Amino acid sequence: MRKLLAATLGVLSAVGGFVDVGDLVAASQAGARFGMAHAWVLLLGVVGICAYAEMAGRIAAVSGRAVFDLVRERLGPRVALVNLVASYLVTVLTLAAELGGVALALQLASGLSYLIWVPVAALAVWLVLWRMRFRLMERVFGLAGLALVVFAVALFWLPTDWAALGRGALHGGAAGQGWGAYWFVAVALFASTVSPYEVFFFSSGGVEERWSGADLADARFSVLIGFPVGGFLALSLIATAAVVFHPTGTSLGSLDQVAHPVVLAFGGAGLAVAALAFFAVTFGAALETGLGAAYAAAQYFGWQWGKRVSPREAARFHSVLLVSILLGVLVLLTTIDPVALTEYMLIISAVALPLTYLPILIVANDRTYLGDRVNGPLLNLLGAVFLLVIIAASVAAIPLAVATGMGR
């Protein structure tokens, strides 16, 4: 039981990264349009994020310092500033989308416009980040996000052709939608699985929990349980959409459509559980991105930071946190669609990915910080290959977005 509770940081990191408001629609849209043809993207993303999250957790446990803190010291303030600016902009846009996702989930449950719920969602996120202890927060919202497993359960109630799903995952293709759209969706899904704030949050969370070299086993367990769980939940969204919508070619674009397979399986009770799951995963993602923005700024400038530190002692950290939430609210009050916002954010995130993952690989091989706990040859090979995939996605993201009209 202690090890399972220790994995909640990984679950919160993964659920917040794999299954946020954009992924709720994007994964379902991928299943509706292409069936199981993008299952390989999630598998690739899980393997890669596990490798880099393990590096980030090991850096935190051995050095006692968060990744962004060491990136500035190792690469210099100018290079790290570019990383900070890109990371902060992407993270704040993601935070805005997640606050919008919380509001959309509340709209689904209440019938009231999501814009009414935006300030309520922002206030709730700020109160949790201000008052709730880090370990309690990760356990409550990390475990609550597992309510999304209702989509996996629904597959057993729906008329699921398991053999067809398997064939679609192994031999699926563009399904008449065009290869440009297929690869655009692949890049967007990939970016969602390896969002920059995931590793920064995970590393900073390890420092919050005061990991040491003796905690490396728990850190690895958290990675190997939490992130595959996030990938499994995202895969369940693709699979249910593939079963219900792909045969008819239905196009999806809203949370009530995403919930439809669960409603077909379980009726009103299914809708209630789906609404709860949507709220939990988007709220957890909002917590993660809010902290991620404040972590990055505070660690770059060398400020006191952390939820374990009182607001009086870490005033600048908490100020950045509050300002980031307010910026997210202002973005949403332009009435931009939160789902569309996340789709654009994923493309921007894909472009910025190398700025996050290359420094982690460099620090994870620096004996000044890790001594004999640096990467081994196998992990370096995996990290290098995955970095090449990240660079390819970064280069392809904008041309694919332009050429396909955002995958339309």
Nearest to 328 by CA among 121, 111, 166, 113: 121
Integer Cα distance of 89 and 66 in angstroms: 20
Integer Cα distance of 181 and 408 in angstroms: 7
Give the tens place of pLDDT for each residue, 284-333: 889 889 988 998 898 888 888 887 777 888 899 999 999 999 999 999 99
Spatial CB neighbours of 201, under 8 Å, sequence gap ≥ 6: 13, 16, 288, 291, 292, 295
Q: Which helix (H) or strand (E) covers residue 55, if one does?
A: helix 39-63
Compute the Cα dihedral for 88, 94, 100, 103 and give only its sign. negative
What is the pLDDT, as a whole number, of residue 2?
Answer: 44
Q: What average pLDDT does this structure show over 354-365?
A: 88
Integer Cα distance of 18 and 337 in angstroms: 20
Give the tens place of pLDDT for each residue, 1-48: 444 444 444 444 445 455 677 678 778 888 988 989 999 999 998 899
Q: What average pLDDT does this structure show over 87-108?
A: 90
Integer Cα distance of 53 and 49 in angstroms: 6
What is the pLDDT, as a whole number, of residue 18?
Answer: 57
Give the chain's domains with CATH numbers.
2-404 (1.20.1740.10)
Query: Which alpha helices (H) appear in 245-366, and where do they start and end?
Result: 255-258, 260-301, 315-332, 338-363
Which single residue is written with the structure tokens 């949507």?
Answer: 278
Q: What is the dihedral of CA 173, 44, 279, 321, to 10 degrees?
A: -130
How far CA 346 is from CA of 31, 35, 137, 190, 371, in Å, comes to 18, 21, 26, 9, 36
Note whether 26 and 343 are within 8 A (CB): yes
This prediction has a pTM of: 0.88
Number of Cβ within 10 Å of residue 367's Cβ equals: 9
Note whether 59 and 67 are within 8 A (CB): yes
Nearest to 221 by CA among 4, 1, 408: 4
Compute the Cα dihedral for 76, 67, 46, 149 and give only its sign. negative
341 pLDDT higher than 50: yes
Q: What average pLDDT does this structure show over 72-81?
A: 83
How far CA 187 is from CA of 158, 253, 329, in Å, comes to 29, 18, 27
For 71, list phi and psi in degrees, rounded to 5. Answer: -60, -45
What's the burial of 327, exposed, middle or buried (CB within 10 Å: 0-12/13-18/19+)? middle
Note whether 194 and 44 are within 8 A (CB): no
Which single residue is written with the structure tokens 């946020």?
Answer: 20
pLDDT-derived band of residue 134, with 50, 70 and 90 as boundaries? confident
Give the tens place of pLDDT for each residue, 219-259: 777 778 778 888 888 899 999 999 999 888 777 777 888 99
175 pLDDT higher than 90: no
What is the pLDDT, as a whole number, of residue 261?
Answer: 93
Integer Cα distance of 128 and 241 in angstroms: 33
